[in-house]
Amino acid sequence: MFARIDKDTESRIVLGAIMSLQSLFVLGMQYGAKANSIPPVGGSVSNSMNSEINGVIVKWDASCTKKLKSEGNRIPAMNLLSEMKRKRSPQGAYDLLVSLGIWQADEDLGLLRSGFQLRFDDSEIQSAKEACSNMHDVDELLNIREDLSFQKVYTIDSASTTEIDDGLSVEKFTKDDGSNGKRFWIHIADGERWAPPGSRVFDIAKQRATSLYLPQGSIPMIPEILCTEKMSLNANAEKCSLSLGVELAPDGSVIDSSIRMTASTIKVSYRLTYDDVDEMLEDGIAYNEEWELGELFAAAKTRRDYRIRNGSAEAFVPTQIPQYSISTYTDDVSHDNVGIALNIQVSHNGGKNQSMVDCHDKSATMTYATPVSAASMLVTEMMILAGEAVGRWKMWERKQNSHGCSQDHLRHLLRIPFRTQPSPDYRSRMREKSIMEDLLNNDTGGGLCHAWYARRFFSPAEIREVPSPHSGLGIECYTQWSSPIRRFGDLQVHATIKRYLRRKRMMEMKLNGSTIPSNITFNDIGCDPELFATEATLPLLNMTDTDIDFTHGLASLKAARVVQRSSQTYWMLEFIRRIDRSKTFEAVILGCRNPSRKQYMIYIHELGLEWQYTSPVDNLTSGTRMVVKATNILPRNGQMTLVRVHF
């Protein structure tokens, strides 16, 4: 018979078990991390239950992952592993959690370490549901939202995309002089309509800062019930959009006076994939029945040429290094039911490998051609055009409001963050410039060596509220605003643009003697609506949008890139680990990374992979072709050794 225990002892046992489990999480997450910091071990599980229990998380909420990471106690886990006669290490904790079925063998530990929230709690989902039924449309109240549902709007995305945040259309019209004109429209999902500043959903997006896209799936910034339904530009339904219309000069430059920015209602006619559009362009359908696609593609080519003439990255680095991307899928053949698909992409032309290699098919021949995707180039150029046009619109609006205009109070009221990148500075690096030019002129390594070497001259992009050039894009200004469902920064840009449009309309109503709706709030316009009450208070409008911080979330964006890169690396190494161990790969030496340690960067064509190679000999030459084999593959540690088979 078991001895009965009192409730106090029972509670302490349960709390001790919870603490030990949480401690296992903390310790197990360190498996494969670059550096482990394990505190001294002392006592036993029973002793830990008798000691004061600090830091145990009894009720879970959205902040608990970060709390575990920053305040987690590893000692109970070490004690538990010791009593179970298991290895007292991060790997021991990981193995135990996997054996208990709490973690999967392929658990993304880098993601867990990062502290990113993996799911939404009940209150967040409820807030999203309430946002879906929110009838407060300020743009309708102010008669700003324009009906563009008559336009034929296309969305072009991957087949798996559920957060559709951009659409394209073409409008033909007759100009004042009787000539024909074309206006290209970029429609972006109106995220602010459903997640305005001050709302719970806005705060949820602010806390997360970005959606995460990982090989095993995505983690949205906003609950799916909202971001894939009300916000998303799904086909055959009226959707709220923030729409920009622009005309182009023959050379591809933006005609500033033509830019139109408006809240709108659109109805997507066709939800297309990149493959759909590529096929339509190739078959000629895009130049007949769907002529709008042909016009968009022609404009995209003109814009690409325009940017290249202005010294964009496409001109600076004409040949890009194809890069891999990994995705996973359910596979009954695999021991863990997880299959791995490899795609190889080129950033400049958007080309994508049309085949996916099954790592279980020992007879499969790896193909790694990267055909150019016209559809991807079309979308890329239209999004860059949208980013430039918004910046130019801001400058045009300020110019118009500074020449005795009745709306002079609006002169400084449009806040927009510009992404800027300075041009490469060669003055102090002439020797390196000469090496780079030789690599380009000699087409060393088919241009790949030049592309790798040129990276050292690129400066990171910066964010300013003053219009500045972006050398990598070859344009005078650029603003990111095309993904408000996926990036919090873009959602903030939507808020400042729409608030500006509303203040502008309210100014017109004030000057015309019209009645301003009484249910306009601070969050709607970024300032106190009472400022529009009298002429004397209008100068105070310069104090607007003080609740918007364009720097918020930048650290999270950087952390997200680290997590995504780490996850991609893990699955790439797992992909290599699963294929035939005798498999060899053709590679090319990109250049020397560390001469004293004989470390070189090489590129494996079949994998789209850049990896470090330590040579047993000195003075390997860039562009040298070689055959290598992978050994000592440790996906959890992000490690793999390449050995040369022969040149």
Which of the pair, 226 or 647, is modelled with greater confidence?
A: 226
pLDDT of residue 398: 82
- Kindly report, residue by residue over 101-146, the tens digit of the pLDDT: 999 999 999 999 888 999 999 999 999 999 999 999 999 999 999 9
Highest mean pLDDT among 23-37, 248-262, 515-529: 248-262
d(CA 456, CA 452): 8
pLDDT-derived band at 599, boundaries 50, 70, 90: very high
* Residue 277 near residue 158 (C-beta atoms within 8 A): no
Residues 6+ apart with CB under 8 A from 396: 256, 257, 259
- Kindly report, residue by residue over 302-351, the tens digit of the pLDDT: 999 999 999 999 998 999 899 999 999 998 888 888 999 999 987 654 33
- Kindly report, residue by residue over 168-220, the tens digit of the pLDDT: 999 999 988 888 999 999 999 999 999 999 999 999 999 999 999 999 999 99
- Kindly report, residue by residue over 548-598, the tens digit of the pLDDT: 999 999 999 999 999 999 999 999 999 999 998 899 999 999 999 999 999
SS3 (DSSP) at 555: helix
Beta strands in 236-355 (DSSP E): 238-246, 260-273, 323-330, 338-345
* Residue 629 near residue 643 (C-beta atoms within 8 A): yes
pTM for the model? 0.89
Mean pLDDT (the chain) is 87
d(CA 349, CA 187): 23
Residues 6+ apart with CB under 8 A from 42: 75
What are the tokens at 296? 């968009």
Residues 6+ apart with CB under 8 A from 443: none
Predicted confidence (pLDDT) at residue 534 exceeds the cutoff of 80: no
pLDDT-derived band at 34, boundaries 50, 70, 90: confident
* Residue 162 near residue 226 (C-beta atoms within 8 A): no
H/E element holding 627? strand 625-634
pLDDT-derived band at 647, boundaries 50, 70, 90: low
**What single DSSP character describes residue 352?**
B
pLDDT of residue 525: 93
**What single DSSP character describes residue 470?**
B
pLDDT of residue 544: 75
pLDDT-derived band at 359, boundaries 50, 70, 90: very low
Predicted confidence (pLDDT) at residue 370 exceeds the cutoff of 90: no
* Residue 233 near residue 365 (C-beta atoms within 8 A): no
- Kindly report, residue by residue over 600-628, the tens digit of the pLDDT: 999 999 999 999 999 998 789 999 999 99
Kindly give the pairing relationship between strand 338-345 and strand 212-214.
Answer: unpaired
Residues 6+ apart with CB under 8 A from 306: 251, 252, 253, 474
Q: Which of 488, 485, 503, 499 is nearest to 550 (CA)?
A: 488
pLDDT-derived band at 88, boundaries 50, 70, 90: very high
d(CA 326, CA 567): 9
Instruction: Please report, as a single letter, which amino acid is at residue 96.
Output: L
Q: What is the DSSP string of 106-143?
A: T--HHHHHHT---S--HHHHHHHHHHHT----HHHHTT
Q: What is the largest CA-CA distance in the chain?
A: 100
What are the C-alpha distances in Å from 269 to residues 29, 151, 239, 245, 482? 46, 8, 12, 18, 20
pLDDT of residue 65: 58
